[in-house]
Structure 1
Amino acid sequence: MLDSGKITLIDKQIMWNRLLAVVEEQAQVCQRTAFSTIVRESGDLAAGVFDAQGRMLAQAVTGTPGHINSMALAVGHVIDAYPVETMQEGDVYIHNDPWMGTGHLNDISITTPCFHDGQLVGFLACNSHILDIGGINDWSSSTDVFMEGLYLPILKLVDGGRVNESLIAVIRANTRQPVETVGDVYSLMNCNAVGCDRLAEMMTEFGLTTLDLLADHIIDTSREAVLEKIRALPRGTWTSEIMLDGQSEPILLKAALTIAEDGITVDYAGSAPMTKHNFNVPLCYTLAYTSYALGVSIVGDIPNNAGSLEPRRVAAPEGCILNALKPAAVVARHLMGLMLPDLVFNCLRQALPDRIPAEGAGVLWNLRAVGPWHSPARFDDSFMVGLVTTGGMGSLPYRDGMSATGFPSGVRGGPVEIFESMSTIVVWKKELNPDSGGAGTHRGGLGQWIEMGNALPEPFEIGNAYERILFPARGANGGSDGLAGDVRLDDGRDLRAKGRHIVPAGHRVVLKSPGGGGSGDPRQRARADVARDLEKGYVSLAAARSLYSWED
C-alpha cells in the first residue's frame, strides 16, 4: 500500500494516465456492444470516471461533446437522489431526464457505484443515444417533453446485483424497438462494469485505498492549467448574434463573452424565448457545447474533468430557448445546441482573430427513414433506421475547413452499407457537393450531395430536422458564405427542413448539406490551392473564374 506522503508527482501522473485508459476502454466496450447504429457506427456516447464525491476525474476521448460535457453533472444528480451511504456493491442507476442528462429523452444515462475492498471509491458513468424511446413518430411536432417518449427519473436499475425486471419490462413496453433499446441498456451497464473492474485493478496495482489524493491532484492541476491559458488572453467582453432557420419563425441567439482573471463567462441574455416547437435546450446541453467551444479554441489538450471545466461558465435567463424549463419539448435540442460553438467563436474571433474558424454547417443532417420491409406494410414488419450525415466546417485563418465533418458534434458519419442492410433503402449517391464551401484565402469545407430511395415499389417516410437552409454559414475576414443546404424530391418538389414527409414509390430524396464559410479574401488564395480544388472537383471552373480570378 502506498504511503500518501511517498506518492510522487510522477506516480500521480501515471495514475492519471491510467484513469484515461480505463475510461477509454469503457467507451470502446460501449461502442462495440451497442445495438443502436448511431452509437456503434457513429460514436454518439460518453463514458467517465468520478470520485466518491461525484467529481468527474476523466472522460473518454471516444464520444461527443453533448454527451461528454453534460455527463459531468450527472453523478451529482444521482447522489442527490440516492445518498452514497445508501449504496451497496452491485447497484446500478438509470435515468434519461433531459435536465439532468444530455438534453433529451433519447439519451439514457447509467451510473454505477464502484467498490474496492468493500469501500465505495468512485463511480463509473456512461450514456448513449437510443434510436427509439417511444413517443410520437414525428420528429418535428412534439410540443412538450411528455410527447417525446418514456421519461425515466433517476431509478435503481440493479439492486445489489439483482436486475429490476419490472423496470426493464417498462422500458421494453415503451419502444418500437424493444430488442435494440433493452440491448443498449445492457450495453451501457456492461461498459460500466468493465470500467469498475479496471479501476479496481488499477487501485490494487498502485496500492490505493481511496481516490481522494489523486482526485485532488487531477482537479487542482487541471483548473490551474486552464486558468493559466485564460490569463494569457486579452481581457474584455465581446458580443455576437446568429440567426437560425427555426420552424414557424427564425430564431435569434445572442451571446456576450467575458474573459476575466478567474475564468470565461458566456451570457446568452437576449436570445429568443422558449418556442412551442421541440428544439428548446436544457441548460446542461447549453453548458456542454459552450464548454466545448471554449475548450477547442482556448483550453487545447488539457483533459476534461471537474477542474478543467470549472473556469468555463454559462448564464442564460430561465425560460429562454437556451435555458428551457420542464416540460418544454426538447427532442431536437441539438438544432440550437450545435450552433452555439459558432456563436461563441464569433465572440472569440474579435479577441483572437488568428485562431478562430468561420461559421460551419453546425447541425448534423441526419437521415431518418421508416418503412415496410415487405408489402403490404404491417406495423410489426417495419424498419426504422438512422444515418448520420454531415456538412462542411468553417475555414480557419490558416487552413481550409474540413469537408463532410461532424464538427462540432464529434459524431461520425455512418457507412451507408449499414444503413442499407437494416432497411430497404438504397443510397444511390453520396459525394462531396462542388462549390458548397465558402470561397476565401482558405476555403470552407464542402457539404455532401446524397440521394436515396426505396428499393421496393413502396412509399417510405423520412423525418427532417435541419438548419442552415435559410441562413447559411457566414464567412470571416472577407471570406464568402458557405452554400446553404437544400432538401427536395428528385422531381424538384421542395421539402420542409423540419417535418415528416412521405416519399412516393419510385422517387428519391435529394439532400445537399451546407458548406462552411471561407476565411480571408478569395483573390488571395494560392494558385496551387485553386488548381488542386479544380483537379479534385471541389470547385467548378466557373466558380474558380468568378470567385478566385482563375485564368486557364
Structure 2
Amino acid sequence: MSLSPIDLQIMWSRLISVVEEQAQTLMRTAFSPIVRECGDLSAGVFDAEGRMLAQAVTGTPGHVNSMAESVKHFIARFPPETMKPGDIYITNDPWMGTGHLNDFVLTTPAFHDGRLVALFSCTSHLMDIGGIGFGPDATDVFMEGLYIPFLKLAEGGRMNETLLAMIRANTRLPVDTEGDVYSLAACNDVGCRRLSAMMDEFGLETLDEIAAHILARSREAVLREVAALPKGTWRNEMTVDGYDAPVTLAAAVTVSDGGIHVDYEGTSPASSRGINVPLSYTTAYTVFGLSCLVGGRIANNAGSLGPLTVSAPEGCIVNALKPRPVASRHVIGQMLPDVVFGALRQAAPDRAPAEGTSCLWNLNVRGVAEKGESGNYGFTMAVTSNGGTGARPARDGLSATAYPSGVKGTPVEIAEAVTPLVFWRKEFRPDSGGAGRTRGGLGQIIEVESRIGAPFDLLAAYDRIDHPARGCDGGGDGAPGRVALASGATLRGKGFQTIPPGERLVVMTPGGGGVGAPAERPRAKVAADVAAGLVSPGQAEKTYAME
C-alpha cells in the first residue's frame, strides 16, 4: 500500500516525537549533571543501512552529527543479519564515535514482528572515565581514560557483566558512570518500544517508504538553498590560542550545484596535547555551521547532511590520527563554524554572524568531598558556561550562550548541591561584547571558592584569551577571556591547576565580535544597553560617542 504525502508527513513528525521521548528519557535518568541539567547528549533513529532518519530536538551538534556516522561503524562490526532482540552495542572510540573518550555511544537494533526495522542510537557525556581526567594535558589518547572498542553491552537481553565491571573499575565515579550506561540503554529501549507501537498504529511492516521520503525531501530542500548562493570558492583563516602555541584554522569553502565542500588544507599540524580533533568531530561541527546558513529550517538527517562534505589533511589538528590526545577536542572543533562563516560571509554577507566565544568555557573541577579526605577525588564536575556569540547582521549577539554546542548553563544551585563549592558571583561581564551596529554578546564573570577550606583542581581548557573573537564590517572585537585568582594571580588558559584553600577562582568569559561601525548603532539601543548595565557610561561615550 502506497502512503499519501499527508500520511508520510504525519509519520515523519511522529518519528521526531519518538526520538525526542528517547532523548528526554536519557535526560531524566542520567547521573551526570552535564546530561541531566544541560542536555549534552544525542538521540536518533536510523534505518537498517545506518542512515539517520530523525534526531531529537534535544542534543548537541557534536554528538548528533558524529553519531550519524558512528552507526555505520556499528553495522560494519555487527552486520544486521547477526543482530537479535535484546542486543546492545557500545563504544567510545573517538575516531568512530563523537571525538573523545568521555562520550559513550550505544546502538540498539529495533525489531517489529520479529523483523529488524531500524536502529536507535544515543550518546551522552560521562563525567569521569579514568585516566588523568577531562582536560588537555595528556600526550596520547591512552592517558585520557578507558578506551572501549565496538563491543556488545548486552546480548539477547543479558548485560555484559565483565564489561560493566571493567567500566566501574576505571572511573573515579563508579556509581555515576555505571548509572549513565544504564541510562543510555534505557533511552534506546524506549525508542524501540515507541517505534513498534507507531508501526502497529499505522499498519507498517517496514520503514522503507517513509525513509525514502524523508531523505529525498530533505536533500532536495538543502540543494534548493545551496542553489540560491553564488558559486565559487571562498577562503578564511582564523588564529586561536592553542595549547602552547597559536593554531591557524584555514578553510576553503566551495559552493557548487551538488552542495558545499569545506577543505581545511593549510590548517596547523596536530598538537602534542589534547586539543586535537578527530575528523568525525570536525565534520560534525563544520556541517552544523553550514546548516545554520543554508538549512536552518530543514530537518537534520542523512538526506540534508549528504550535500555538505568535509576534508582535511591527515595529521593536521582537525584530522588528528590515533593515538593523538583528543580529550578537549571541543576547544578547536567548536571554532569551526566561525571559520566557515568567515568564508561564506564573502558570498552571503547578510547571513553570517561575526566570530563568537564558540568553544565552551566549562569549569571542569574536581577535589575532595570533605575536608581531610586527601588523595580521594570525592567530586568531579563540568560546570557548563560560555561567553557571548558574535553579532548577527540584523541582531545583537546572544550573551552567555553556548553556541554552537547548544548545551545549557549549569544552574548554580545544582553545582553547589553536588560539589563543596560556593559561587560568589555569576553575572554578565559589562563592556565585553564587541561594539558595532549590532553588538556582540556579553561574557560572564564567575567567582568560585571551596566552602570546606580545601584545595580543588581546575582542569582548564579555554581559548579566546590571546586571540579574541573578531568583529566584522567595522565592528569591534569581543573582550578576551581571563582566568585568575581573586588575589590577582593570572592562571593559564589550559592545563591542570590547583586553586589553594581560601582563594577564589575568577573566570571572565570572552565576548562576541560586533558587526558594522559602532556609529551606526541606534542611540536608543546604546542608551538601553547602558541602562541595563551591559555597557558602561564611559564605554558608551568612548566607543559610541554618547554624551
Fold in common (TM above 0.5): yes
CA shift, 1:500, in A, is 1.2
Name the residue aligned to 2:45: 49
Matches of residues 482-501 of structure 1 in structure 2 within 5 Å? 482-501=478-497
SS of 1:502 mapped into structure 2: strand
Matches of residues 219-238 of structure 1 in structure 2 within 5 Å? 219-238=215-234
Matches of residues 213-292 of structure 1 in structure 2 within 5 Å? 213-292=209-288
With over 3 angstroms needed to count, the CA separation of the structure-2 counterparts of 1:62 and 1:441, relative to structure 1, is: same
1:37-59 per-position Cα deviation (integer Å, ceiling 9, x unaligned): 10011100000000111111000
SS of 1:72 mapped into structure 2: helix
Equivalents in 2 of 1:42, 1:502: separation in Å? 26
1:193-252 per-position Cα deviation (integer Å, ceiling 9, x unaligned): 000000001111111111111111111111111111101111010000000101211101
Equivalents in 2 of 1:449, 1:432: separation in Å? 6
Equivalents in 2 of 1:321, 1:484: separation in Å? 23
SS of 1:78 mapped into structure 2: helix
SS of 1:350 mapped into structure 2: coil
SS of 2:54 mapped into structure 1: strand
Which residue identity is paired with 1:41? Answer: E
TM superposition score normalised by structure 1: 0.98
Matches of residues 92-103 of structure 1 in structure 2 within 5 Å? 92-103=88-99
SS of 1:242 mapped into structure 2: strand
Name the residue aligned to 2:185: 189
Equivalents in 1 of 2:78, 2:29: separation in Å? 28
- 8 Å Cα contact 2:172-2:377 kept in structure 1: no
SS of 1:73 mapped into structure 2: helix
Name the residue aligned to 2:338: 342
Which residue identity is paired with 1:425? Answer: L
Equivalents in 2 of 1:119, 1:457: separation in Å? 59
Which residue identity is paired with 2:96? Answer: M
Which residue identity is paired with 2:442? Answer: L
- 8 Å Cα contact 2:243-2:275 kept in structure 1: no
Is 1:374 the counterpart of 2:370 in the alignment? yes
Name the residue aligned to 1:32: 28
Q: 2:423 aligns with which of 422, 427, 440?
A: 427
Q: 1:67 aligns with which of 38, 51, 63?
A: 63
Matches of residues 358-507 of structure 1 in structure 2 within 5 Å? 358-380=354-376, 382-507=378-503
Equivalents in 2 of 1:138, 1:114: separation in Å? 33
Equivalents in 1 of 2:366, 2:221: separation in Å? 48
Equivalents in 2 of 1:524, 1:173: separation in Å? 60
CA shift, 1:140, in A, is 2.6
Which residue identity is paired with 2:189? Answer: A
SS of 1:214 mapped into structure 2: helix
1:57-99 per-position Cα deviation (integer Å, ceiling 9, x unaligned): 0001100000011110111100100111111111000000001
CA shift, 1:462, in A, is 1.2
TM superposition score normalised by structure 2: 0.99
- 8 Å Cα contact 1:360-1:392 kept in structure 2: yes
Which residue identity is paired with 2:182? Answer: Y
- 8 Å Cα contact 1:223-1:310 kept in structure 2: yes
Equivalents in 2 of 1:44, 1:424: separation in Å? 23
Which residue identity is paired with 1:40? Answer: R
SS of 2:323 mapped into structure 1: coil
CA shift, 1:278, in A, is 0.7
Equivalents in 2 of 1:79, 1:143: separation in Å? 31
Equivalents in 2 of 1:218, 1:376: separation in Å? 58
Which residue identity is paired with 1:13? Answer: Q
With over 3 angstroms needed to count, the CA separation of the structure-2 counterparts of 1:257 and 1:381, relative to structure 1, is: closer
Which residue identity is paired with 2:305? Answer: L
With over 3 angstroms needed to count, the CA separation of the structure-2 counterparts of 1:347 and 1:119, relative to structure 1, is: same
SS of 1:351 mapped into structure 2: coil
Is 1:515 the counterpart of 2:507 in the alignment? no
- 8 Å Cα contact 1:457-1:505 kept in structure 2: yes
CA shift, 1:138, in A, is 6.7
Name the residue aligned to 1:106: 102
Is 1:307 the counterpart of 2:303 in the alignment? yes
- 8 Å Cα contact 1:143-1:329 kept in structure 2: yes
Equivalents in 1 of 2:419, 2:95: separation in Å? 33
Which residue identity is paired with 1:302? Answer: I
Equivalents in 2 of 1:391, 1:284: separation in Å? 25
CA shift, 1:506, in A, is 0.9
Which residue identity is paired with 1:181? Answer: T
Equivalents in 1 of 2:151, 2:378: separation in Å? 32
Equivalents in 2 of 1:381, 1:321: separation in Å? 32
- 8 Å Cα contact 1:138-1:500 kept in structure 2: no
CA shift, 1:456, in A, is 1.4
Q: Cα RMSD between the aligned structures?
A: 0.9
1:147-173 per-position Cα deviation (integer Å, ceiling 9, x unaligned): 111000110111001111111111111
Which residue identity is paired with 2:163? Answer: L
- 8 Å Cα contact 1:238-1:347 kept in structure 2: yes
CA shift, 1:458, in A, is 1.8
Which residue identity is paired with 2:543? Answer: L
Equivalents in 1 of 2:340, 2:276: separation in Å? 18
Equivalents in 2 of 1:202, 1:138: separation in Å? 40
CA shift, 1:381, in A, is 6.3
SS of 2:346 mapped into structure 1: helix
Count how many residue pairs are aligned between Structure 1 and Structure 2. Answer: 547
Name the residue aligned to 2:115: 119
Which residue identity is paired with 2:258? Answer: D
Determine what percentage of the aligned residue pairs are the same residue.
Answer: 57
Is 1:148 the counterpart of 2:144 in the alignment? yes
1:506-552 per-position Cα deviation (integer Å, ceiling 9, x unaligned): 1101110000000011011101101100000000000000100001x
CA shift, 1:377, in A, is 2.2
Equivalents in 2 of 1:439, 1:124: separation in Å? 46
SS of 2:487 mapped into structure 1: coil
With over 3 angstroms needed to count, the CA separation of the structure-2 counterparts of 1:226 and 1:410, relative to structure 1, is: same
CA shift, 1:342, in A, is 0.5
Unaligned runs of 5+ in 2: none
Name the residue aligned to 1:535: 531
Moved over 4 A (4+): none
SS of 2:391 mapped into structure 1: coil
Q: 1:20 aligns with which of 8, 16, 22?
A: 16
Name the residue aligned to 1:84: 80
- 8 Å Cα contact 2:444-2:510 kept in structure 1: yes
Unaligned runs of 5+ in 1: none
Equivalents in 2 of 1:435, 1:164: separation in Å? 54
Equivalents in 2 of 1:71, 1:342: separation in Å? 22
